[in-house]
Amino acid sequence: AQRVTQPEKLLSVFKGAPVELKCNYSYSGSPELFWYVQYSRQRLQLLLRHISRESIKGFTADLNKGETSFHLKKPFAQEEDSAMYYCALNTGFQKLVFGTGTRLLVSP
């Protein structure tokens, strides 16, 4: 079955603390994973793609095929990082299966 699991509905941290948003997937093929973010009153937008191996706004994510994970990390959280984060898996033709999302709340 093709599935994306984000176990935490809410992650609350203080400014300057490290952040790790968890994402696990189930997929029989070669996975292609993404993180999308939705800031308050804004549209969902692409944050990063694992194939690009990029760092956006200080966030990184490494695909771990052995653990079937694609956790999103940032060493020092900022208040402007507060948002809803979705992990997504490409199942072909860019059809994405999304996780249920994690709300990140960064307090001052």
The CA distance from 107 to 15, in Å, is 6
CB of 93 to other proteins, least distance (A): 5
Helix/strand/coil for 55: coil
Binding site for other proteins (CB under 8 A): 4, 32, 34, 36, 43-46, 49, 51, 86, 90, 93-101
The CA distance from 33 to 51, in Å, is 8
CB of 24 to other proteins, least distance (A): 14
Is residue 89 within 8 A of residue 27, CB to CB? The reply is yes
The CA distance from 52 to 46, in Å, is 12
CB of 1 to other proteins, least distance (A): 12
Name which of 15 and 49 has its Cβ closer to other proteins.
49
Name which of 67 and 94 has its Cβ closer to other proteins.
94
